[in-house]
């Protein structure tokens, strides 16, 4: 059953099923099939409104969404328990529409290989200390999940994050900028689309200590050297691949991001500004500008990163098809 299905739907899906699936519990046929399947999943929750708002249920839903599961509903109305509120399963016609929507987008990247980078890098100062940044990896993981939903063979090259591993995706874990560069170049030649959303360190300690550096009362200086510009490197290797870059800028943002398009041979660049409310590192939302080689700018409103991943990916898909 797990291998046969092209789409798994649970309707109605009670809090018990959602909790067991989020926890990896396989104690019946349904949860066993779900844990063994790699196809898209559509869940139509149905439960008491207080249960739907219960913190553990909220966390379980968020966790399953991070795995790439789709949710539809619940609606508000009369509930089986006699209450009136949010928790009613959506109508079967809405579930059918949701399934058709999944099938209508699934396959846009069928047969295509997509590489996504995510997270931060950690550049060691010594055996226990490192230089890094605050990237959570949420944007890159969301893009990888949506690319899988589009039917792509997805490789996610990720630096350290606190995010759960997404289903059905080839995960390559790295730590340093050098490791990230090696993994990207290894997978770039055979891919159709690269989305470079990782926050790679610009500098790394030139002479990291093998052991733990000892504390002293004296000032210390750490010599830094530039890391490899991964996008510039793959830009030189680019043939028919579509390459999407990401830029985080706080000053002269449009101008600085635009220069990266020609300098790194990008098809378009996604500009983030961490100073904008609800955008930047370690948030569930983001607001970006998409900048094209001809100077056109798509200013997208603040939205959840999962929705933003769809917006970015749909633009890239048009280029891959062309």
Q: What is the CATH number of the domain that holds 155?
A: 3.40.50.10300
Residue 158's domain comprises 113-321
In a domain, 1, yes or no: no
Determine which helix (DSSP H) or strand (DSSP E) holds 123, and give its type and residue range: strand 123-124
pLDDT at 162: 92
Token output for 203: 């500098």
Whether 29 and 80 map to the same domain: the answer is yes
Cβ atoms of residues 117 and 171 within 8 Å: no
Whether 128 and 250 map to the same domain: the answer is yes
Residue 104 has pLDDT above 70, yes or no: no
Whether 153 and 17 map to the same domain: the answer is no
DSSP, collapsed to helix, strand or coil, labels residue 312 as: helix
In a domain, 145, yes or no: yes
pLDDT-based confidence at residue 3 (cuts at 50, 70, 90)? confident
Cβ atoms of residues 269 and 246 within 8 Å: yes
pLDDT-based confidence at residue 268 (cuts at 50, 70, 90)? very high
Catalytic residue among 26, 39, 81, 191: 81
In a domain, 2, yes or no: no
Count up the domains in the chain and report the number.
Answer: 2
Dihedral, 20, 22, 24, 29 alpha carbons, nearest 10 = 50
In a domain, 220, yes or no: yes
CA distances for 282 relative to 66, 120, 133, 171, angstroms: 14, 11, 11, 21
Q: Which of 88-97, 173-182, 217-226, 258-267 has the weakest average pLDDT?
A: 88-97
Higher pLDDT: 79 or 122? It is 122
Whether 52 and 131 map to the same domain: the answer is no
> Which candidate, 303, 322, 310, places its Cα nearest to that of 105?
310
The arithmetic mean of pLDDT across residues 238-257, rounded, is: 93
In a domain, 38, yes or no: yes
pLDDT at 257: 94
Token output for 236: 């030189």
Residue 1 has pLDDT above 80, yes or no: no
Q: What is the CATH number of the domain that holds 21?
A: 3.40.50.1950
Q: What is the mean pLDDT of the chain?
A: 91
Whether 63 and 154 map to the same domain: the answer is no
DSSP, collapsed to helix, strand or coil, labels residue 86 as: strand
Whether 64 and 175 map to the same domain: the answer is no
Whether 243 and 272 map to the same domain: the answer is yes
pLDDT at 12: 93
Per-residue three-class SS string for 172-223:
EECCCHHHHHHHHHHHHCCCCEEEECCECCCEEECCCCCCCCCCCCCCCCCC
Whether 242 and 168 map to the same domain: the answer is yes
Q: Is 26 a catalytic residue?
A: no
Residue 67 has pLDDT above 90, yes or no: no
The arithmetic mean of pLDDT across residues 295-319, rounded, is: 93
Determine which helix (DSSP H) or strand (DSSP E) holds 10, and give its type and residue range: strand 8-13
* DSSP, residue by residue, 220-273: ----EEEPP-HHHHHHHH-SS-EEEEEEE-SSSHHHHHHHHHHHTT-SEEEEE-
Higher pLDDT: 2 or 246? It is 246
Tell me the chain's radius of gyration from C-alpha atoms.
22
The arithmetic mean of pLDDT across residues 112-125, rounded, is: 97
Residue 167 has pLDDT above 80, yes or no: no
């Amino acid at each position: 059953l797990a291998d046969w299905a092209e789409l798994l739907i649970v309707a109605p899906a009670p809090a018990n099923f959602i909790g067991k699936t989020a926890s990896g519990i396989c104690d019946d046929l349904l949860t066993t099939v779900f844990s063994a399947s790699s196809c898209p999943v559509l869940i139509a929750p149905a439960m008491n409104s207080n249960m739907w708002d219960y913190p553990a249920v909220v966390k379980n839903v968020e966790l399953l969404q991070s795995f790439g599961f789709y949710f539809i509903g619940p609606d508000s109305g009369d509930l089986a328990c006699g209450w009136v509120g949010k928790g009613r399963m959506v109508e079967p016609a809405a579930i059918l529409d949701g399934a058709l929507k999944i099938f209508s987008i699934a396959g846009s990247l069928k047969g295509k290989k997509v590489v996504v980078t995510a997270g931060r890098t950690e550049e060691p100062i010594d055996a226990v200390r490192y230089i890094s940044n605050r990237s959570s990896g949420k944007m890159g993981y969301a893009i990888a999940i949506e690319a899988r939903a589009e039917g792509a063979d997805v490789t996610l090259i990720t630096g350290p994050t606190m995010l759960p591993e997404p289903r059905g995706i080839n995960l390559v874990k790295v730590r340093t900028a050098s490791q990230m560069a090696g993994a990207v170049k290894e997978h770039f030649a055979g891919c159709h689309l690269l989305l470079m959303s990782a926050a790679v360190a610009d500098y790394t300690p030139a002479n990291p200590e093998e052991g733990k550096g000892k504390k002293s009362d004296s000032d210390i200086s750490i010599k830094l050297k530039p890391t490899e510009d991964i996008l510039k490197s793959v830009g030189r290797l680019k043939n028919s691949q579509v390459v999407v870059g990401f830029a985080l800028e706080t000053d002269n943002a449009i101008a600085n991001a635009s220069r990266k398009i020609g300098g790194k041979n990008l098809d378009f660049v996604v500009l983030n500004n961490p100073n904008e409310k609800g955008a930047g590192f370690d948030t569930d939302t983001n607001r970006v500008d998409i900048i094209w080689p001809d100077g056109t700018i798509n200013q997208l409103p603040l939205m959840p990163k999962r929705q933003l991943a769809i917006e970015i990916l749909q633009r890239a898909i048009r280029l891959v098809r062309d």
